Amino acid sequence: MQTLLIATHNQGKLREYRALLADLPLKVVNLDEAGVDFDVDETGTTFAENALLKARAYAAATGLLTWADDSGLEV
């Protein structure tokens, strides 16, 4: 079974992703479960760039297929 790393420490987000992906043959883990203890500097100029920075860094660190998102409030 393939493991998918969700790039979050947030247990609520993890529960949501596990529910959404429940029908797929994936073991879904978060940063804590993967033993990741660092944060990625969000130096991108868009939410998409920051998500990509996080996904690449955590995938490189763990060797796992990684999903990251980024969002915020724009005024």
Active-site residues, by number, are: 70
Record the tokens describing residue 45, joined without a space: 């100029």
* Residues with Cβ within 8 Å of residue 62, at least 6 apart in sequence: 5, 34, 35, 36
Long-range contacts of the stretch 14-22 (C-beta < 8 A, 24+): 17/67
Record the tokens describing residue 36, joined without a space: 């990741």
